[in-house]
A = this chain, B = another copy of it.
C-alpha cells in the first residue's frame, strides 16, 4: 500500500490533459503500477486491480494500458517467450532476462549509452531506452551449468 501519490497524480493529470476521463478503473491501474516496483504482465495487473475493484474486466485493463502508453506514462516490453510486461515509463531501465530460469533483472539505462551512440552513428537508429530487453543467462544459471558439465 505504498501508493506513490505523486506518480499516480501525474498519470491522472496526463489523462485530464489529453481530455480523456478519469475513472475508477484507470485510477486503480495507475495505483497498481505505482505500487509495483518492477514490471507486471497484463494478467498480473488485472489480478491486482480486481483485488481492489472486482468489477474491472481484463479488456478494460488492456484498453487502459493502451491509453497509458499513448500518454507515454507506461511502456511495455516483451521479455522471454511469454506475455508482455508493463511498467511506468518514468523508470528508465533495461531488462536482462535469463533464458534458463526466466527471471528478469532491471539495470540502469546508462549501460546502453555506448551502444546507443554506436547505433545512432552506424545506422541512424535511435534506440528506445525503455524497451531494451536482452536475453542471455544469469550468473546463477551459468554456475549451475558449469557444475553439471
- How many copies altogether? 2
Q: When the two chains form their complex, are residues B99 and A123 in contact, meaning their CB atoms are under 8 A apart?
A: no
Quick check: which of A15-23, A53-61, A105-113 contacts chain B, the rest being far away?
A: A105-113
Main secondary structure of the interface of A (DSSP, over half): mixed
Q: When the two chains form their complex, are residues A137 and B128 in contact, meaning their CB atoms are under 8 A apart?
A: yes
**What 1/0 mask marks residues of chain A from 96 to 109 whose CB sits below 8 Å from any chain B CB?**
10110000010100
A71 at the interface (CB under 8 A from B): no
A-B contact pairs, 28 of them (CB 8 A): A77-B135, A78-B78, A78-B81, A96-B119, A98-B125, A99-B128, A107-B119, A107-B123, A111-B115, A111-B122, A112-B115, A114-B114, A115-B115, A119-B136, A123-B139, A124-B138, A124-B139, A124-B142, A125-B134, A125-B136, A125-B137, A125-B139, A126-B136, A126-B137, A127-B136, A128-B134, A128-B135, A131-B136
User: Taking beta carbons and an 8 Å cutoff, which residues of A are in contact with B?
Assistant: 77-78, 81, 84, 96, 98-99, 105, 107, 111-112, 114-115, 118-119, 122-128, 131-139, 142
